[in-house]
Amino acid sequence: MGIFEMGIRMDRNCRQSLVLSSLVFAVIASPAWAQTAQEPAPETEPRFSVSGTFGLFSDYRFRGVSLTGNDLAAQGSVSVTAPFGLSGGIWASNLDTASGDSLELDVFAAKSVDIKGTSLSIGEIGYLFPGNNGLNYGEATISAARSIGPLDVTIGGNYAWAQAGTGGRDNIYGFANAATPLGQIGPVALSAGAGLAYESGAFAFGVDKVDWNIRLTASVWGFDISAQYVDTNLPGASVRAGRAGAVFSISRSF
């Protein structure tokens, strides 16, 4: 092969390579390719969420005992959930107690984890009384929740260590709650529930206190309307706030 013929073939190969390279560059630089390459990653779910509730109650019963003198209570809360099962928030209610308090603020935080369908939670609650700071106290909490057939069951306990707000004594409160849906009637979803609890220590009125409740709830148009029967084993003659009674409420979450 002569030098002249070899040069012609090399020149043809170079031109073919240049043409191919130009085509590849044109495809890469085209708008369609650029749009595909620059598409943002799918949005992920927010790592934090905020929710709240507000309700009106015919009575504020705390562990079976009225803290509003069997009168109306307005209650609300705001809570935040965060990654890794963390949550926290604040809850508030008006009061009418013998100590003269008119407001209760509860600050709470918890860590939850799911283990084979059981939700375990540990946390702490700070009970604050702006009208009488000497009554403020803290309480550790633990609970487990699980669905068993048609029932949503929760068991748990709260422990308040000896501190100024508990009169220098500790307090133990154990509880069990169960709830189940009853079905739907038009736009109204019905559910029922019951609770049983035991308390001993600073807030048990000198006895092994037991309280229980039975409730019926109707959920419609974003509102929860509830009727509840509440009672304790406290002697009614000496602890009127612990007598059996009915509590009606309407609340909404947002």
CATH number of the domain where residue 136 is located: 2.40.160.40
Helices marked H in the chain: 3-29, 31-37
Number of residues assigned to the chain: 254
| Cα–Cα distance for residue pair 150/64, rounded to 1 Å | 26
Q: Position 10: which residue type?
A: M
Strand partners, 86: 82, 111
Geometric angle at alpha carbon 94, from 126 and 162, rounded to 5°: 30
Share of the chain above pLDDT 90, in %: 76
Residue 56 lies in a domain: yes
Average pLDDT, stretch 89-105?
A: 92
Whether residue 127 contacts residue 108, with contact meaning beta carbons closer than 8 Å, is answered with: no
Residue 41 lies in a domain: no
Q: Which residues contact 22 (CB under 8 A, 6 or more apart)?
A: none
Q: What's the number of domains the chain is made of?
A: 1
What's the pLDDT tens digit per position in 15-44?
444 334 443 444 344 444 344 445 555 555
Is residue 86 packed enough to be buried (19+ CB in 10 Å), middle (13-18) or exposed (0-12)?
middle
pTM value is 0.80
User: Which of the four pLDDT bands, split at 50, 70 and 90, describes residue 52?
Assistant: very high
Only one residue has tokens 């390579």, namely 17
Distances in Å between the Cα of 59 and the Cα atoms of 31, 70, 78, 208 are 67, 5, 21, 24
What's the pLDDT tens digit per position in 138-186?
999 999 999 999 999 999 999 999 999 999 999 999 999 999 999 999 9
Q: Which two tokens stand for residue 101?
A: 């308090």
Residue 131 lies in a domain: yes
Residue 23 lies in a domain: no
Residue 15 lies in a domain: no
Residue 65 lies in a domain: yes
| Cα–Cα distance for residue pair 50/245, rounded to 1 Å | 34
Residue 83 lies in a domain: yes
Residue 249 lies in a domain: yes
Domain of 152, in residue numbers: 49-253
Please provide residue 135's backbone torsions phi and psi, each rounded to the nearest 5 degrees: -95, -5
pLDDT at 42: 56
**Burial per residue of 167-181, b for 16 or more beta-carbon CB atoms within 10 angstroms, e otherwise:** eeeebebebebbbbe
pLDDT at 17: 44
